[in-house]
Chains A and B, each alone.
Chain A
Amino acid sequence: MNEWVIVVAKSLLILLVVITTFAYSMLFERKIMGWMQMRWGPNRVGPWGLMQPAADAAKMMFKEDLTPRTADPIIYRLAPFISLICAMGVYAVIPFSETSSGSLWSVSDVNAGILFVFALTSMGVYGISLAGWSSGSKFPLLGSVRATAQMISYELAMTMSVIGVLILAQTTSLRGIVHAQYGLWFIVPQLLGFFIYLITAVAETNRAPFDLVEAETELVAGFHTEYSGLRFGLFFIAEYLNMITVSCLATLLFLGGWNAPFGLTMVPGLVWFVLKAALFLFLYIWLRATLPRIRYDRLMALGWKVLLPLATLNLIVTAVVVALLPPR
């Protein structure tokens, strides 16, 4: 009974933290994008626009929640929740830091954490696909078809690039992977894998320049064209949570998680974790501000003809090297 209370309390806390992070990562993005386009970004609501997320949330809540006549009413209403639940569920296993006594800052310590994460993030595409399909409208349908194809193409290369890390760490536990990086961060031996992960992660989360799923120039707003109000907001939250998830994962898998760089151990591990994840978030925004959307056939060509062979190569080389090296 007591354990349940702790788990529920932890979940509620992480929910609060994650939603706040979402809200401010959105503001962060709008600010950074604004600066890169010589604008100020939101700065009207509260000091430096810090209350903007609250204003946006209030606006979302009061918008009309429309359901098109041609839509499948149940699936249409359910789809945003699929996306959101999959995006949120991941945070149950992501460890944020570890105390010196060895207890972990996470809701649960799963020994196959990385598999759980990939399982859930892959499920997230169902939300998008079903949303597009059930809208009963052509643009969302095209968006969801694209989403499905894109996910399959990039999920493969992404998982392959991560397997290199798993071979080096000899474990699928996220905590174990971070522990294996106490000496050397995996970004060094897995540099190629790291870059493949970065690119595929952007495609996985449907972010620019791989946001073909919601390409507004061709598809109005892609899979969420028909959505409005709070349901659109849920997709929005899910997108940002996925972004934060892959940033956290990149930190855990390649940048040594909460390990302090250069022996700067006086700064707590949680701060390092947050800083590293924020670095990836910034990279995302920088990418969006810089690169135009890639053409659809090139997206597919990049996924299948470049990233997948490279990831396979990376996997084979890593496996051979680890097999030939004397066991540690």
Chain B
Amino acid sequence: MRKNLFNLGAVLQGFRTTVSFAFRKKPTIEYPSVRKQHSPRFHGLHELRRYADGKERCIGCELCAIACPANAITVVGAENAPADRRSPGERYAARYEIDELRCIFCGLCEEACPTDAIVLTPRFEMADYRRGAFIYSKDRLLVPPTAGIGTSPDERPGGIPSDLGSVTNQKSTVDIKDGYDATWRGGLLKEDRKGLAG
């Protein structure tokens, strides 16, 4: 105890340390006014892109929803109406919803997408007071018609590649009667499909 009570050298050393720390550079990033530079490959909020002509890239194939490890994505595809084509392909996403609270921002949806429709942007400020507000549907995910880039398959020189036709020969899991596949989500989503185009 004597040693601890009278160990003044160590105490003074402590005082010196705290004062020297007071003049050090602070590592704090004062967030709202100062923003950290994120990597361009930062995984943030999703975005559904368009082609240059304003058509949606998404063809409603649900590969993103299947790839999603968190089951955060819901896609309800529908046939394009010939008079009002939303996407260059046969189908488009009538509903496309991502629950950003479930999302783990892994980017697997981005990798799974055959048309590069879904991408992760560096945006990350999504705070809200209501849970429901975190379910992002097409109205918030889809970029404005002027912001898209790229070309659609049917605008490529030579038209649609012929090998795309081979897909039709594969065994389909889609129930002819319902027009939807036989997974558990399919049953849940039957209701959602009612009244949609196609």
Q: B30 near A: Cβ within 8 Å?
A: yes
Q: B28 near A: Cβ within 8 Å?
A: yes
Within 8 Å CB of A37, what residues of B? Answer: 21
CA distance A290 to B17 in the complex (A): 8
User: Does the CB pair B1–A301 fall under 8 Å?
Assistant: yes
Number of interface residues of A (CB under 8 A): 16
Interface positions of B from 8 to 25, Cβ below 8 Å from A: 11, 14-15, 17-19, 21-24
Q: B188 near A: Cβ within 8 Å?
A: no
Distance from A51 Cβ to chain B, minimum over Cβ atoms (Å)? 17
Q: Could you give, for residues 1-43 of chain A, a 1 whenever the CB lies within 8 Å of some chain B CB and a 0 otherwise?
A: 0000000000000000000000000000000100111111001
Within 8 Å CB of A306, what residues of B? Answer: 5
User: Does the CB pair A289–B18 fall under 8 Å?
Assistant: yes
Q: A236 near B: Cβ within 8 Å?
A: no
Of all chain A residues, which has the CB nearest B26? A38
User: Does the CB pair A36–B21 fall under 8 Å?
Assistant: yes
Q: Could you give, for residues 250-293 of chain A, a 1 whenever the CB lies within 8 Å of some chain B CB and a 0 otherwise?
A: 00000000000000000000000000000000000010011100
CA distance A140 to B5 in the complex (A): 29
Within 8 Å CB of A298, what residues of B? Answer: 1, 4-5
CA distance A35 to B27 in the complex (A): 11
Of all chain A residues, which has the CB nearest B6? A306
Distance from A324 Cβ to chain B, minimum over Cβ atoms (Å)? 31
CA distance A32 to B21 in the complex (A): 11
Q: Interface residues of B toward A: which range?
A: 10 to 19
User: Does the CB pair A290–B14 fall under 8 Å?
Assistant: yes
User: Does the CB pair B5–A38 fall under 8 Å?
Assistant: no
Do A40 and B17 contact each other (CB < 8 Å), given the known contacts A291-B11, A298-B1, A306-B5? no
Distance from B26 Cβ to chain A, minimum over Cβ atoms (Å)? 5
Give the interface centre of A289, A290, A302 by most chain B CB atoms within 10 Å.
A290
CA distance A35 to B15 in the complex (A): 14
Within 8 Å CB of B23, what residues of A? Answer: 35
Interface positions of A from 276 to 328, Cβ below 8 Å from B: 286, 289-291, 298, 301-302, 306
Where chain B touches its partner, the secondary structure class is helix
User: Does the CB pair A286–B15 fall under 8 Å?
Assistant: yes
User: Does the CB pair B19–A286 fall under 8 Å?
Assistant: yes
Of all chain B residues, which has the CB nearest A283? B15
Of all chain B residues, which has the CB nearest A35? B22
Contact for B22 among A32, A291, A301, A302, CB less than 8 A: A32
CA distance A39 to B27 in the complex (A): 8
Distance from B7 Cβ to chain A, minimum over Cβ atoms (Å)? 12
User: Does the CB pair A36–B5 fall under 8 Å?
Assistant: no
User: Does the CB pair A40–B30 fall under 8 Å?
Assistant: yes
Give the interface centre of B1, B18, B24 by most chain A CB atoms within 10 Å.
B18
User: Does the CB pair B1–A38 fall under 8 Å?
Assistant: no
CA distance A115 to B11 in the complex (A): 33
CA distance A41 to B100 in the complex (A): 33
CA distance A39 to B28 in the complex (A): 7
CA distance A39 to B18 in the complex (A): 12
Do A38 and B11 contact each other (CB < 8 Å), given the known contacts A302-B5, A306-B5? no
CA distance A36 to B27 in the complex (A): 13
Distance from B105 Cβ to chain A, minimum over Cβ atoms (Å)? 29
Within 8 Å CB of B24, what residues of A? Answer: 38
Within 8 Å CB of A289, what residues of B? Answer: 18
Q: Could you give, for residues 89-131 of chain A, a 1 whenever the CB lies within 8 Å of some chain B CB and a 0 otherwise?
A: 0000000000000000000000000000000000000000000
Within 8 Å CB of B5, what residues of A? Answer: 298, 301-302, 306
Of all chain B residues, which has the CB nearest A301? B1
CA distance A32 to B19 in the complex (A): 9
Do A36 and B22 contact each other (CB < 8 Å), given the known contacts A286-B15, A290-B17, A291-B11? yes
Within 8 Å CB of B4, what residues of A? Answer: 298
User: Does the CB pair A290–B1 fall under 8 Å?
Assistant: no
CA distance A291 to B19 in the complex (A): 13
Within 8 Å CB of A290, what residues of B? Answer: 11, 14-15, 17-18
User: Does the CB pair A38–B30 fall under 8 Å?
Assistant: no
User: Does the CB pair B28–A36 fall under 8 Å?
Assistant: no
Do A38 and B21 contact each other (CB < 8 Å), given the known contacts A290-B14, A291-B11, A301-B1? yes
Within 8 Å CB of A302, what residues of B? Answer: 5
B contact set with A: CB distance below 8 Å: 1, 4-5, 11, 14-15, 17-19, 21-24, 26-28, 30
Q: Which 7 A-B pairs have the closest CB atoms?
A: A35-B22, A36-B18, A290-B18, A290-B14, A36-B22, A289-B18, A38-B26
6 contacting pairs across A/B (C-beta < 8 A): A35-B22, A36-B21, A38-B28, A39-B26, A286-B18, A302-B5
- Told that A36-B19, A291-B14, A301-B1 touch, could you supply 10 new A-B pairs with CB distance under 8 A? A32-B22, A38-B21, A38-B26, A38-B28, A43-B30, A290-B14, A290-B17, A298-B4, A302-B5, A306-B5
